[in-house]
Structure 1
Amino acid sequence: MPHPHDVVIIGGGHNGLTAAAYLASAGKRVLLLEREDHLGGAAVSAEAFDGVDARLSRYSYLVSLLPQRIVDDLGLDVQLVRRRYSSYTPDPADPSRGLLIDREAGAEASAAAFAGIEAENDADAWNAFYAETAHLAERIFPTLTEPLPTRAEARALIGDDRVWGSFVERPLGETIEARFENDLVRGVVATDGLIGTFTSLDDPALDANRCFLYHVIGGGTGDWDVPVGGMGAVSGELARAARDAGAELVTGAEVLAVDPGGRVRCRLEGTEHEATAGIVLSNVAPAVLERLLTAGAADAAAHAAREASGSIAPRDRPPFTHDSKLDVPPVVRERLRLAAEPEGAQVKVNLLLNRLPRLRDASVAPEVAFAGTFHINELESQLDAAYATAARGAIPSPLPCEIYCHTLSDPSILSPELAATGAHTLTVFGLHVPHRLLERFGNDELRAQLQAAVLASLNSVLAEPIEDVIATDAAGRPCIETKTTLDLEEALRMPGGNIFHGPLSWPWAEDGAPLDTPAERWGVATRHPRILVCGAGAVRGGAVSGIGGHNAAMAVLEASVL
């Protein structure tokens, strides 16, 4: 890699691929460096079980925030399936009944569903509440692929002070409790504020509010769709678009150091290389970028010393000036502070089943209950208790869990022979298991305990043990795979196993924040002018969206014409 590039991208996750495709299409010379031997980052499909022809979305699994604009701009052949059933939630106190949210149910059937769990008064409140989130989605989602609005501009876009106050200024827990009476209904609503976020619903820091907002605005509707072919199909299309546009995508290239002047040192096939570019885009977590910059500073100091001693000739350097006293934009400073030690708070469990298990609620077929999001032990009171337990350093019992079955919407991830047997996949996402639990448990012990907690939570609402329907692999082992926060950290370089790379931000700039440069206006700035964030660590990052990659590319292209 001896020749200079216009842009070097660190990390081949879906956002890095998005940026590469946009920039190469605009005629930029793009080099993307990926540590693994494959592209896609967390948005990949894999055969998780030996000898079993099933390609599971191993980490991320649903799509909501990927804008149609990106799909159209890059000519992506991505198919998404809209799920008829939004969710099913068994009543933990009486699992023979539960709440089924059916998008196609009429008003009478919907009211009867709420009445079935003695939540008659919440049926109308549910409709009114989600009419408000639909309004938020309609107004806010289109701004995610535009320069940042200010807080005042976002508020004006929403145009309803009551809605703004409910979702942006009051803790999410207060809003939910003011609108709903039933503990189960409150819990179903609340979970969108807690997925991957370790916080109390009533915390005035409003972390739950930000998490909730991103979960309800996707696509302008808030729908979460199933990617046909699995999540790897999405990344595969982005990689194809980037290659077709002329980007150079290099796998097996571990980045070791980054210099603010545009130099990137990496190791490829056992040999160290140096790539240079006018701009470096970081698709790694901000905390990881900080470590690479520290290594880059050490490289620069060592090289300068060798130049000064005359042992090597001076090399040309791109013009770069950085004053350590330079006023860093407040949003960048805050994100650097919070990203110093990110913490994830989830466990991910993948299963392959011979068939779907029977439920204690005989009124709902398993094919219906598992077709949307299946909530288990997620009463609001249970979520609060689980948070308090985990904050004390213990594993919550029962463990709040969310489940989805990819194969009910898209059986293509199974071989035809396997699909014909009635096999199905289940993806379980356990909440409120923060990375700090590793201070008490070793990773192997924690993984085993969390896996047992997930199965126990599942069994609490089933008419038969889930273990009885788990398939076996070629060696006769159960087809179950459990990923802790440390597993994510080691496999994906997500510090603390934080699936958002750090704290989520509001999708706007605070009033008075500097928006003088393209990077600031697009929410991708770091304290170094030549280094931009293009991944989940961007201001509007998180989830499989491509938004961070799109916005970084737009900032680069805007800067190139100024």
Structure 2
Amino acid sequence: MNSGNGNSRYDVVVVGGGHNGLVSAAYLARAGLSVLVLERLDHTGGAAVSLEPFAGHPARLSRYSYLVSLMPEQLMADLDLDVRLASRTTASYTPWTRGERTGGLLVERPEGDATRASFRDLTGGDEEYAAWQDFYAEVARFAEVVAPTLMRPLPLERDVRALVEERIWTDVVEEPLGRAIRSRFTDDTVRGVVATDALIGTFASLNDLSLIQNRCFLYHLIGNGTGEWRVPVGGMGAVTDALARAAVDAGAEIVTGAGVSAISPGPDGAEVVWHDGTRERTVTARRVLSGVAPWVLRILLGEGEDPETKPVGSQLKINLLLDRLPALASGADPEVAFAGTLHLAEDYSQLEQAYAAAAGGAVPDPMPGEVYCHSLSDPSILGDRAGSAHTLTYFGLHTPADLFDADPGARDVATQRALASLGAVLAEPLDDCLATDTDGRRCIEVKIPQDIEKDLAMPGGHIFHGDLEWPWAPNRARLETPAQQWGVQTEHDVVLLCGSGARRGGAVSGLGGHNAAQAVLADL
């Protein structure tokens, strides 16, 4: 990236070069505004990056964020992004054991006869699959209402509600999601598969009255009106590399190694202080867009740290490189079972037990989590090992940052229990399949919330920068300014949110960046 051209004033300064900041920069530069992006790290991309973590292996793993769901196709077209997203042939596979019986619940994409037969094998009839089809058909119609609004000014809650069926609105928006899951489904495993979308990066009981689990569930199922999670060909870094090119080609300046230390807003603009590694520098802008978490932004604005409001992340990320996929105890074809989301210890009862354990300060046992094999959808990330290796990504639930703060040994315990959850469904030891690096070490990389905070300055390691909000405005919300209308406002008119902390900003979507850019264009 370039080091800036020495200008001291811009139309817009973007603090943070994550994917949302790059989206803002690309839109605004295309509109003819002067834009400077300041990124603390030596590279752009934030959490959406690809790296080669294992010495001697060319495999480029999506180190933090790993799938794309919410990024609208319209946004990708607007910015002419040269990015391809691959669909996974399997939606999910969930190994199960019932007494002496073992099997796996397969959900195809698209669902077909094998999915129906898989439900029948697990439950003994067709009633549960019929309930599944009814529920997700209602969710899909809900998504079709919400998805088109995500790149428009915020609708009011009452306007969205008027277009959504009453039953699914009640189930998802008004009552804890656990109630709907228990009333609609009878099988513990099926209930768990439904529930997991509510708990990605979110530490909550399914019965939590705050409904943060409901909001997480909705965000995971509204992307492009389908909720399909796709694999970016070339890894997550391909997405942010394309965004950086789009921003630079449009005329934006990107400076890496630029640590911002202060933002001072005034009536007509703001001053931004940053360090280039050698000296302190100052730049002014008509508007400042913040891609950092709102909690961090308050520090940059001089308000100090507030431990009471600091977000608390909840995830365990493990990247692995295998010489081959392991055989499963259920006898399922590994290239089918690992092609989608492989659910581990995620029955509904297990999820609730794990939450109770973690809330009580204990690492869950068994550890609920899910596994993704990106190399089945995109062998290109393996380089010259394509066809002779595979990547696995494990994402653990109910592992809040507090667990690791309280006990430094919790990291190793959580890792062991995560791998044990995977090992429990295999027909052979995982170690027999693991690759080793040039130093003979097993190819396993572990990231807990504290690592996310250290690496990416996300407070508490919270991948959404804080609890998600509904993707619409409350009925009595003030929507007087463009920033308010787009859900990107702060207490300062000249400082806007463009990251995951913006309303509608969570996940790898670019929505926070798009919406902040639209607010600026409407205001300047």
Q: TM-score range by the shorter chain?
A: over 0.9
Name the residue aligned to 1:454: 418
The residue type equivalent to 2:415 in the other structure is Q
String of CA shifts for 1:45-80, please: whole Å, max 9, x gaps.
000111211100000010010001111110001101
Alpha-carbon distance in 2 for matches of 1:119, 1:337: 53
* Structure 2 equivalent of residue 331 of structure 1: none
Deviation at 1:92, TM superposition (A): 4.7
Aligned equivalent of 2:190? 185
Cα distance in 1 between the residues matched to 2:420 and 2:83: 36
- Corresponding residue number in structure 1 for 2:3: none
Regions of 4+ moved over 6 Å? 336-339
State the partner residue of 1:48. 53
Counterpart pick for 1:503 among 467, 472, 488? 467
SS at match of 1:414: helix
Greater shift, 370-379 or 164-173, is seen at 164-173
Q: Say yes or no: does 1:20 pair with 2:40.
A: no
Distance 2:395 2:98 in 1: 21
Aligned: 1:440 with 2:448: no
**Identity in percent:** 56
Whether contact under 8 Å (1:81, 1:228) holds in the other structure is yes
Q: 1:520 aligns with which of 466, 484, 490?
A: 484
Bigger shift: 445-454 or 463-472?
445-454
- How far apart are the structure 1 equivalents of 2:98 and 2:397? 20
Deviation at 1:439, TM superposition (A): 3.3
Deviation at 1:166, TM superposition (A): 1.4
Q: Which residue of 2 aligns with 1:377?
A: 345
Name the aligned partner's letter for residue 352 of structure 1. Answer: L
Q: 2:386 aligns with which of 419, 422, 440?
A: 419
In structure 2, stretches of 5+ residues that fail to align are 1-5
The answer to whether 1:387 aligns with 2:355 is yes
- What's the CA shift for 1:149? 0.3
Which residue matches 2:510? 546
1:274 lines up with 2:307 in the alignment: no
Deviation (angstroms), 1:260: 1.6
What does 1:85-96 align with in structure 2 at a 5 Å threshold? 85-93=90-98, 96=102
Q: Secondary structure at the match of 2:326?
A: coil
Give 3-state SS (helix, strand or coil) of 1:507's partner. Answer: coil
Partner letter of residue 282 of structure 2?
A: E
1:157 counterpart (145, 163, 169):
163
Structure 2 counterparts to residues 449-488 of structure 1, below 5 A: 449-488=413-452
Aligned to 1:147: 153
Q: Which residue is equivalent to 1:355?
A: 324
Which residue does the alignment assign to 1:306? none
Aligned residue for 2:472, secondary structure, equals: coil
Q: Is the 8 A contact 2:34 2:252 kept in 1?
A: yes
Paired residue secondary structure (2:309): coil
Listed as ranges, the gaps of 5+ residues in structure 1 are 298-335
TM-score with structure 1 length normalisation? 0.90
Structure 1: how far apart are the matches of 2:15 and 2:468? 21
Displacement after TM superposition at 1:543 (Å): 0.6
Whether the 8 Å CA contact 1:92–1:376 is kept in 2: the answer is no
Q: Distance in 1 between matches of 2:114 and 2:374?
A: 26
Task: Give yes or no for the alignment of 1:172 onto 2:177.
Answer: yes
What displacement does 1:2 show? 4.3
SS in 2 for 1:510: coil
Alpha-carbon distance between aligned partners in 1 of 2:315 and 2:446, rounded to the nearest angstrom: 11
1:524–1:470 CA distance, 2 compared to 1 (3 A): same
Pick aligned residue for 2:312 from 343, 349, 352: 343
**How far apart are 1:119 and its partner, in Å?**
5.3
CA deviation after TM superposition for structure 1 residue 447, in Å: 2.3
Distance 1:103 1:245, change over 3 A: same
Identify which of 236, 253, 263 aligns with 2:271.
263
Partners of 1:405 and 1:349 in 2: CA distance? 12
User: Which residue is equivalent to 1:65?
Assistant: 70
* Change in 2 beyond 3 A, CA 1:213/1:122: same
How far is the alpha carbon of 1:339 from its aligned partner? Answer: 8.9
**Taking structure 1 as reference, are residues 517 and 119 closer, same or farther at Cα in structure 2, changes over 3 Å only?**
farther
Relative distance call for 1:215 and 1:104 in structure 2 (3 A) is closer
2:105 pairs with one of 95, 99, 108: 99
Instruction: Name the residue aligned to 1:322.
Output: none
Say if 2:23 and 2:247, in contact at 8 Å, map to a contact too.
yes
Q: CA deviation at 1:104?
A: 4.1
Q: Distance in 2 between matches of 1:125 and 1:553?
A: 42
Give the drift of 1:206: 0.6
The number of equivalent residue pairs is 514
Separation (CA, whole Å) in 2 of partners of 1:173 and 1:60: 27
